[in-house]
Structure 1
Amino acid sequence: MDHEGHDGAARHWDEMYRSRPRVWSGRPNPQLVAEAAGLEPGTALDLGCGEGADALWLAEQGWAVTAVDVSAVALERAEQHAAGSAAGNRITWLQRDLDAWAPTEQFDLVSAQFLHSTEAPWQRPHRVAADAVRPGGTLLIVGHHPEGLPPWRSQPDESQPGEDSRPEESHTGEHSHSHGGDAHANSGMFFTAEQAADELGIAPPQWRVDVAASREREATGPDGQSAVLADAVLRATRLQPRPA
């Protein structure tokens, strides 16, 4: 695992992960599975990889994966989990702060799942994601739709991005840039697929938008409550190199 120092953000997320033996379900995010299953494997960048379920699923499909997270604790768990799979050696784990880092290379697939943060605008890490897609490659952004947020969001627990914090019941997978606090105060953390495309400049002639949708799914909250949530899903293909 490749480490860099990250001070406050790393400490926050390390403490969160240490508070539980496992935070996420261990299953890949369903929108990733739905959108990436038909793609030809190549190189993939998984931003905010958490405990590594998405990265491992991609590796098992034949992708060479670079998985990035700010938490060393999450990455250690992810690496240990992947070590039990024959595909684990297809993953490179990097400790990086997504609010300050950008890759120097480009990828065939860049996945940004639920990168919601109370500390920084949502646009910054998603611009990093878009810039990291090579011509012909795929950008996949998934987030909580602002009109389909978890009803348990007002609870002070910041450990989950709206998915179930109990691994045995979680409907979705994982990613570590999460949120908490008052839903109205943090409304700027969330976006529709159309807003993401507009803000990030995902449009012709540089891009072809393949999917821009809101998708409902069932989820279970930290106290066992059930709800129907909505995901904003944006999948696009880069047609031209990014401007110099």
Structure 2
Amino acid sequence: MQQTTRDFWNDRYREKTGETSGKPGLVLSQFAGPLQPGTALELGCGRGDDALWLARQGWQVTAVDVSAVALAHASERSARAGLAGSLRFEEHDLAETFPDGSHDLVVASFLQSPRDWPRARVLARAAGAVTTGGRLLITEHGKRPPGSEAAEDRVFPGAEETLASLALDPRHWRRLCVCAIARKSTRPEVQGQTAEDNVIFLQRLG
């Protein structure tokens, strides 16, 4: 029997032991940090570092992942931190179901899967969940990250290519940042090596 997407990611998260860094992603803290808190939707929340950070900044957060294992870990951490009232966790395979509602901030950080998965369609739905005046923040690998399991010759899309794949009406969106940035990897086994990420940061006009 072919392994389902849920089983694949549950197995991945079962292999992860110990605590996370507890720190938000660099792009999230840089771009969302100055924003006035409102409602936020995080797609692919994993074990919750970014979701908990958003809640600490005053956001009401809906955090979504396909892995029940990851969500259980994130939920337990939110309770320990006294943030349970600011966070709601939902399990979704975003290729099949999507959370309800519209949000002031929709975040998708490294929502890139080694499995066959309709990423452009999911990100287009993410854009559709942004309220008027709200922001969409997508962060993705711009090239093979240090220590990655990805094939050496794998080609990652550029920021403009990802944006084009969403087929958004440019009359309804303001480009705040569509660019590549370099950062130092924080993974212990490759710490200090340079990674390149793409950022797509947009504001919905109507």
Question: Above 0.5 in TM-score?
Answer: yes
1:80–1:221 Cα change, 3 Å: closer
50-59 vs 17-26, which moves further: 17-26
Please give the alpha-carbon distance, in whole angstroms, between the structure 2 residues aligned to 1:137 and 1:107.
Answer: 7
Find the partner of 1:211 among 169, 173, 177: 177
1:150 to 2:116 alignment: no
Residues 91 and 126 of structure 1, relative CA distance in 2, 3 Å threshold = same
Q: Secondary structure at the match of 2:47?
A: coil
Between the aligned partners of 1:23 and 1:70, the Cα distance in structure 2 is: 20
> Alpha-carbon deviations, 1:12-57, whole Å to 9, x = none?
1111111232374221111000000111111100000000111111
**Which residue is 1:77 aligned to?**
73
Summarize deviations over 1:157-212 as a string: whole Å, max 9, x none: xxxxxxxxxxxxxxxxxxxxxxx34142x43xx32221122221345211001111
Look up the SS of the partner of 1:223 in the other structure.
Answer: helix
- Alignment partner of 2:106 out of 110, 114, 120: 110
Contact 2:159/2:179 (<8 A) preserved: yes
How far the C-alpha of 1:221 sits from its partner, in A, is 4.8
Question: For residues 5-44 of structure 1, what are the structure 2 equivalents within 5 Å?
Answer: 8-22=4-18, 24-44=20-40
Question: Are the equivalent residues in 1 in contact too, given 2:146–2:190 (CA < 8 A)?
Answer: no
Q: Equivalent residues in 2 for 1:76-225 (5 A)? A: 76-119=72-115, 120-146=117-143, 149-153=144-148, 180-184=149-153, 186-187=154-155, 190-202=156-168, 204-221=170-187, 223-224=189-190
| Conserved 8 A contact 2:13-2:70 | yes
Paired residues of 2:39 and 2:103 also in contact (CA < 8 A): yes
How far apart in 1 are the matches of 2:121 and 2:193? 30
Q: Which amino acid aligns with 1:38?
A: P
8 Å CA contact 1:70, 1:95 repeated in 2: yes
List gaps (5 residues or longer) in structure 2: none
Match of 1:166 in 2: none
Name the CA shift for 1:227/1:208 in 2 (closer, same or farther; >3 Å): same
Alpha-carbon RMSD across the aligned residues, in angstroms, is 1.8
Q: Which runs of 5+ in 1 are unaligned?
A: 1-6, 154-179
Supply the AA of the counterpart residue of 2:170: P
Q: How far 1:128 sits from its partner (Å)?
A: 1.9
Work out whether residues 202 and 208 of structure 1, in 8 Å CA contact, stay in contact via their aligned partners in 2.
Answer: no
Moved more, 54-63 or 95-104: 95-104
TM-score normalized with structure 2 length: 0.90
Distance in 2 (alpha carbons) for counterparts of 1:19 and 1:118: 17
Normalised to the residue count of structure 1, the TM-score between the two structures is 0.77
The aligned amino acid for 1:117 is S
CA contact (8 A) 1:193 1:232 kept: yes
Change (3 A) 1:137 1:220: closer
Q: Which amino acid aligns with 1:19?
A: E
Query: How far apart, CA to CA, are the structure 2 residues paired with 1:201 and 1:23?
Result: 38
Which one scores higher on RCO, CA 8 angstroms, separation ≥ 6?
1
Distance, in Å, in 2 between the alignment partners of 1:11 and 1:90 is 28
Q: CA deviation at 1:220?
A: 4.6
Alignment identity in percent?
39
Mapped to 2, the partners of 1:40 and 1:218 lie a distance apart of 28
